[in-house]
Amino acid sequence: MENCIFCKIIAGEIPSPRVYEDDKMIIINDIEPKAKLHYLCIPKTHFALLSEMGEREAEVLKYCFEKIASLEETLGLQEGYRVIINQGENGGQTVRHLHIHLLGGEVLGGF
């Protein structure tokens, strides 16, 4: 997808060290961390919103959540973490390529 920063990171056009990568997703460190650990899990399939999800996107997201769960220890998230998917304008979504924030490494404040 043209002009999508996360598609460019996935394609290697913008350098960003991978914490994890496979054929369906990458995990990188957020450039502006909001917690001691702040990862972004980015599906390699470009879609912006949950409302755009078809069968393929739903499969990829299911895969991402299962993989995240299996990587908890590797990521240092075994004591718990917060999962956030910002959606649209009111949700504060700045990058219109769906991604999963993983925040942890410390006790997080409440909402």
Q: Determine what percent of the chain falls in helix, strand and coil, rounding each to the nearest 5.
A: 30, 25, 45
**5 or 53: CB nearest ligand AMP:** 5
Residue from 23, 89, 94, 111 touching ligand AMP (CB under 6 A): that is 94
Q: Which of 4, 7, 16, 71 binds ligand AMP (CB under 6 A)?
A: 16
Q: Is 92 in the site for ligand AMP (CB under 6 A)?
A: yes
DSSP type of residue 12: T
Residues 48-107 that bind Zn ion (CB under 5 A): 97
Q: Does the active-site annotation cover 99? A: yes
Choose the catalytic residue: 46, 97, 99, 101. Answer: 99
Among 30, 57, 59, 72, binds ligand AMP (CB under 6 A): 30
Strands in 37-43's sheet, in edge-to-edge order, are: 18-21, 25-29, 37-43, 100-104, 81-84
Half-sphere exposure of 45 (CA within 13 A, CB side): 17
**The residue to which tokens 């909402």 are assigned:** 111
Which residues make Cβ contacts (< 8 Å) with residue 111, sequence separation at least 6? none
**Residue 94's binding partner out of ligand AMP, Zn ion, none, with CB under 5 to 8 Å set by partner kind:** ligand AMP
The set of catalytic residues is: 99
Q: Footprint of Zn ion on this chain (CB under 5 A)?
A: 1, 4, 6-7, 46, 97
